[in-house]
Amino acid sequence: MPDRAPRNPFAALRRHRNFRIFWIGQTLSLIGTWMQGMAQGWYALELSNSAFLVALVAVAGSLPVLLFSFPAGALVDRVRKLRLVTFMQTGFLVQAALLWWFTWTGQMTIGGLLVLATIGGLLGAFEIPARQSLVIELVGRDDLQGAIALNSSGFNLARVVGPAIAAIVIARLGLAWCFALNALSFVTVLIGLFMIRLPAGADAPAADGALSGVAALREGVQYVRETRVVRGLLGLIGVYAVLGGPFLTLMPIIARDQLGLQAGGYGALLSSVGVGGVLGALALAAISSRPGRGRLLLRSAVGFSASLIAFALTRTVTWAIGVLTVTGFLMIVVNAVANGILQTIVPDRLRGRMMAAYSFLVVGLSQVLGAFGAGAVAHAYGANWAVGSAAALMLAATLVARSRYPELQRL
């Protein structure tokens, strides 16, 4: 019988040297990534003064993920993941350096910002499924859920620290230096990746070498179509990605137009989401050995929808920060539990392709369809209507999924 007592949430870091090196490098790099994300969103608003174009920059950064995730997943299952992640992280360094150069020299335009965002998305299409699939090689199956929760805690710790540092950097040095510091942060993750030593035979390509790329892709699609619980889980992930993710894209609009904040206040809102996310991830890591993850997923999904409805109704900064902290907590529980369930139930040889499907939904479809649609609704009716109506649809979809896929609750 599984141990129901809370465990040390940092157990995976203590037990696995490779994961410890990986986590430290990734967390430091993500601080820079959040600095760049905040600066990029605010810079798009300065260059265009348009909610639609702010959303379009987010779409440009995710459209390649939408277009190339599935071919990338087939590739991930056929190459060494650590090598692919290292190559793509090097590309991110170059992209951030270009953002810094063109912004610092005053040559950046909204068109240039769109191009560089697209390059970042193309790199992410291959890096995300490779990185997600690499985690099990670093910790093993038993510590996978705890490791995913710790990755989420690092992501959200960076979400707290990154915008706070970015607000100071913007005020003292200017937007360009957020991009420069992000470029430097990729050095830390590259150092960590070069220090990782995997056991002999680990990280070997899992796909049948006789399969062509097209055949491998077709096999992954067929598996999803024939496996009901995976199909239901990916459907729920897709709904929350499309309807739940874009509230972050619209945050600059809500901060400035609804709450009357400047860049520093916008950073405080992002940080409050991050604080909640860190708390949620650590709580999840501490209970990762408990059963009932399916029930936890569905209950957290209901709570996440309700918290976004509350955020859409907010009119004060204090209320917004409180609600966003709860939102961040529930959002990370939903994402981390769904990711952990998916990686646990799929065969090893298909993990890269399933993580590609996950990134297709959470990054690609979320930003391309979700952010674009939310931007259009915000342009016509206001950002609060875009967030609130999407959250109401999420809540309805969760109740439908719970009724239609009862096996989700038994996971």
Radius of gyration of the chain (CA): 20
Encoded amino acid at 134, one letter? L
Q: How would you class 403 by CB atoms within 10 Å of its CB: exposed for 0-12, middle for 13-18, buried for 19 or more?
A: exposed
Asked if residue 227 has pLDDT above 70, the reply is yes
Q: How would you class 402 by CB atoms within 10 Å of its CB: exposed for 0-12, middle for 13-18, buried for 19 or more?
A: buried
- The pLDDT of 68-79, averaged and rounded, is 82
Fold of 11-195+213-410: Growth Hormone; Chain: A; (1.20.1250)
Consecutive H or E run containing 239: helix 228-244
Q: How do residues 125-167 score in pLDDT, each as one tens digit? A: 899 888 888 888 888 777 777 787 787 777 767 767 787 788 7
Q: What's the Cα-to-Cα distance from 255 to each of 59, 60, 218, rounded to whole Å? A: 20, 22, 44
User: Could you give the residue ranges of the DSSP H alpha helices within 140-212?
Assistant: 144-172, 176-195
Confidence at residue 5, expressed as pLDDT on a 0 to 100 scale: 46
User: Could you give the residue ranges of the DSSP H alpha helices within 77-141?
Assistant: 81-104, 110-139
d(CA 25, CA 29): 6
- The pLDDT of 182-192, averaged and rounded, is 91
Query: Which one-letter DSSP state was computed for residue 200?
Result: T
Chain centroid, CA 391 distance in Å: 18
In terms of Cα–Cα distance, which of 398, 286, 272, 266 is closest to 326? 272
pTM over 0.95: no
Exposed e or buried b per residue across 383-401, where buried means at least 16 C-beta atoms within 10 angstroms of its C-beta? bbebbbbbbbebbebbeeb
Q: How do residues 81-103 score in pLDDT, each as one tens digit? A: 889 999 999 999 999 999 999 99
Structure tokens at 252: 């600059």
Q: Where are the domains of the chain?
A: 11-195+213-410
What percentage of residues in the chain have a pLDDT greater than 70?
92
